Structure 1
């Protein structure tokens, strides 16, 4: 395992390394009709471009964290850069849906690794705040930016916006040679089981019964494997660390609420206000930006706050937002609800990541990978739950 790592790279570079991941999640939302028209297919088919990116970040988060643990930051950065570059080349040069889906998945894999590395290298609460707030801010502005890039340069270049993370690679590599690595035998079985488990979890909202059964079976096999390889790909010590489990669990819940409201509130706003979809998109941009920008300050201010206090603070903010969304009828109330949920999720992600990383100790890299995985699964489950409701 790699020793705990602290960054010699500045926070803004870490933010640039991580933030563009959000372009792949929300950036294509307004350009999918253009892609469908150009490819001569339906919206449902081109939506697989976004689904593939979601699969890539879910699977890539633990896998690339494992690569960093066993081969060090430099190797992991180069591997992620190769994945992102290959994906960007694919989506910009080959206008064929299967290639676009594969290219999006490659970008998801690479940017997931970049994000985990950025959070691992963050050496302070302020640096972690920059990383997580960059994800939130880019995520809130990415539909508008993707649409502008699509209009100016074409929808295929808009699909390659996650490649902006490559701009931070040289600065990250300059910090990499000093990263110590303790060689260990790679747990291929553990990696395969976790990858299969994550893949099944991603499909639970779409195919609940078969995916749910698969999740139960693979989870049981992984639990048995952990008994024989407690220091393997998934360190058993992390699963016995209460602070880590609580931090990851709360991050999952906050992500479910935030991303669920992001999909549930626009139709409500249209119905209550009569606004067009463009007006709704512009209106909801501001509460999302508010959450992302203010979270940087909140993360820095709460750096030394007792863990019990922050385990209450952010869930209460999310609960207030959820309640207001349920009872509110005016556009102002609904937008305030989204602002509270966004602030809770963006701030909670940063604060809980710091606590989870500290609790992980010598397993910090693996811990950050698993922590990010739980948050991203929450981002996938939230819209699905909103659709069911």
Structure 2
């Protein structure tokens, strides 16, 4: 791994304190999980349907999916300062829109802008980590904020407004001065930007996001786009998707397992409320309070698990975390007891949160130093796609 770049010629390299990186990345989870309890209020005040206002969340999800590789590419080709300031501008503009304009088109646009910016922040934070503990703190912040986000957003809506609750991802802006103060750009020359590669990857990602909802058309579009991207890689091996990443077996294994763990965890999050309501007769409030604890456990405990497994061989973690996820799924299939179901959720949450950090560190270490930020963008993209596919797969199984 490369050392932090000096702030000026001859100055010692400085690593960004992990706490700043965690603050930079963690608020992304507010945009994913935060709106779940406040969307009915938004629908009422906008005189709209609940289905229509869910486009606020859909726009955020699409934006973080495409923003992850795009902003990672900006970081790789234009440097840290320009990437951080671009992300900050996107988040700030998005927050202003959702707070000040109570109209659905503006809310959707503002949510998308925040998604793009926070996706870039998260990839930058992960690319700046220089130890397993730092990576673990970053990924633990994402999981921990995600578990508490619905309750925090609901409280913000009661104290301020539901529009203010939609702007919670903007808390990531608090970390920008600290990150820029501790880490400066690498003055080394960068390869020219690859617009064709960026467009092709964006098209593939967009198609993949819609595969769970329209698998025929979206699947065909994804395959076609992927084929064109592979052909493009032959002419631009150092382009938007460097060949050095595609040809790194450890990177591919880590990214694939991250996708799998995210799909299992978010599938369980989708299924568990229905199981608890149907089998135990719990109310939605009881279910929400109960699920909070296994999710918090997974996020908080993952930091220690990542630190303990930091020096473990790739094969060991490749068996450990999928094994934990499989154990969780097995428990959920074998028993309808609320206590067992909550333990199952705790296992899948721990597997996903720990696996994200552990596999991210190994994925970053498997590629050349110059491709680190791009690799983190591609890795996070795989994890986010798993988060999108999990609920859709769970819904198909439940149906």
* TM-score, scaled to structure 2: 0.96
Aligned match of 1:270 in 273, 277, 297? 277
1:221 counterpart = 2:216: no
Q: CA deviation at 1:5?
A: 5.1
Aligned match of 1:279 in 263, 283, 286? 286
Q: Deviations over 1:252-294 (max 9, x none)?
A: 0000000000011111011122111011000000000000000
Q: CA deviation at 1:183?
A: 2.1
Q: Which residue of 2 aligns with 1:10?
A: 17
Gaps of 5+ in 1: none
Q: CA deviation at 1:3?
A: 6.4
- Distance in 2, matches of 1:243 and 1:360, equals 9
- Distance in 2, matches of 1:108 and 1:299, equals 27
Question: Are the aligned partners of 2:75 and 2:82 in contact in 1 as well (CA < 8 Å)?
Answer: yes
* TM-score, scaled to structure 1: 0.98
Question: What does 1:243-254 correspond to in 2, within 5 Å?
Answer: 243-254=250-261
1:127 counterpart = 2:131: no
Q: CA deviation at 1:4?
A: 6.8
- Distance in 1, matches of 2:391 and 2:133, equals 30
Aligned residues: 388
Question: Are the aligned partners of 2:35 and 2:57 in contact in 1 as well (CA < 8 Å)?
Answer: yes
Q: Which residue of 2 aligns with 1:346?
A: 353
Question: Are the aligned partners of 1:257 and 1:318 in contact in 2 as well (CA < 8 Å)?
Answer: yes
Q: CA deviation at 1:240?
A: 1.1
Question: Are the aligned partners of 1:4 and 1:365 in contact in 2 as well (CA < 8 Å)?
Answer: no
Aligned match of 1:308 in 297, 303, 315? 315
Q: Which residue of 2 aligns with 1:234?
A: 241
Q: Which residue of 2 aligns with 1:373?
A: 381
What is the root-mean-square deviation in Å for CA atoms of aligned residues? 1.2
Question: Are the aligned partners of 1:4 and 1:364 in contact in 2 as well (CA < 8 Å)?
Answer: no
Aligned match of 1:46 in 53, 57, 61? 53
Q: Which residue of 1 aligns with 2:326?
A: 319
Gaps of 5+ in 2: 6-13
Structure 1 residue matching 2:366: 3-state secondary structure = helix
- Distance in 2, matches of 1:105 and 1:206, equals 19
Question: Are the aligned partners of 1:314 and 1:345 in contact in 2 as well (CA < 8 Å)?
Answer: yes
- Distance in 2, matches of 1:14 and 1:337, equals 30
Structure 2 residue matching 1:281: 3-state secondary structure = helix
Q: Which residue of 1 aligns with 2:305?
A: 298
Q: Which residue of 2 aligns with 1:170?
A: 177
Deviates more, 1:325-334 or 1:107-116: 325-334
- Distance in 2, matches of 1:238 and 1:5, equals 21
Structure 1 residue matching 2:367: 3-state secondary structure = helix
